[in-house]
Structure 1
């Protein structure tokens, strides 16, 4: 594994421990687009702007870490295909970032405080659910996180994380 890919996964894993990114975008069909972005963009009329999320892939609440890793891998593979060496981060203004922008995985809308007016309630419910499964979690700076990153190595951690995310952040919870 390249040092860039390893570093990217480390950042993702660390972010998962703090904010625990996960899932959205279920169209109800039981199927999912595994990171292949549409090239279609919403039309705009005078005075309107395009949806900045249009065409992006989103992590879903029910995604496990393998699903999340696949989305990140699709993004890093795109960067590599556009000339970013595996051992380097892309420059902030690089054409590769622009070309791969739609493959950059966004966090679930339900877990975005700007998109979910009940986000704070979800955070508190998530902490309660994870603690109920013996995974020590806390509210920190308005987000939920793990007391220790070692908790991600506990048996059934991923299963409980997904279960708690769905329960805490979905409308079905």
Structure 2
């Protein structure tokens, strides 16, 4: 479990969970989703935590919340808000980093949004194909994107302010990283 704070607290407000500035002017993006079918409930119930009867398994990610490939920025923000609210409820003041191994991190561990398997290069053998497809799709919609360091990225972070950016990001992500994509 990582001890870093909500990416939005580091000034990252785009529709992605992680934005990494490379040595160049590229903004690397990585987004999340579990590729599940159907729609997510719009209420708090969609951020449900596992019951207290969940037993420890060999899968360290079992029970964690996952951001879906088809989640829009509001869905993603709701998941991050649930995690940061949990940290606050367990004594981590706003805008502060939770110390590694802290009781707050332990208490909120299952609310920390994980990347989907489709967006994990180690778990998805088609990840590189998905990255290339994502870049092509975004560029087709006028959002200048590139492949850099094995991930897709924006030529300029300003692209996140373009009309319909989130719509196209979700559309391209689902098409590019889904099993049938």
* TM-score normalised by L of structure 1: 0.85
Deviations 1:49-108 (A, max 9, x none): x21111100000000111101100000000001011113111012110011000000012
What is the distance in 1 between the residues matched to 2:12 and 2:106? Answer: 21
Shift, 1:23, TM fit: 1.4
The structure 1 residue matched to 2:50, chosen from 26, 35, 38, is 38
- Answer whether contact 1:42 1:54 (CA < 8 A) is retained: no
Which segment drifts farther, 70-79 or 82-91? 82-91
Change (3 A) 1:124 1:52: same
The structure 1 residue matched to 2:64, chosen from 52, 56, 69, is 56
> Can you give the 5+ residue segments of structure 1 that lack an aligned partner in the other structure?
45-49
The structure 1 residue matched to 2:98, chosen from 90, 94, 104, is 90
Change (3 A) 1:61 1:53: same
Shift, 1:41, TM fit: 3.0
2:127 is aligned with 1:115: no
| Greater than 6 Å deviation, 4+ residue runs | none
Corresponding pairs, count: 164
What is the distance in 1 between the residues matched to 2:136 and 2:124? Answer: 19
What are the residue-to-residue correspondences of 1:97-136 with 2, within 5 Å? 97-136=105-144
Shift, 1:37, TM fit: 1.5
* C-alpha RMSD of matched pairs (Å): 2.2
Name whichever structure is richer in strand by fraction. 2
Name whichever structure is richer in helix by fraction. 1
> Can you give the 5+ residue segments of structure 2 that lack an aligned partner in the other structure?
20-26
The structure 1 residue matched to 2:33, chosen from 23, 42, 48, is 23
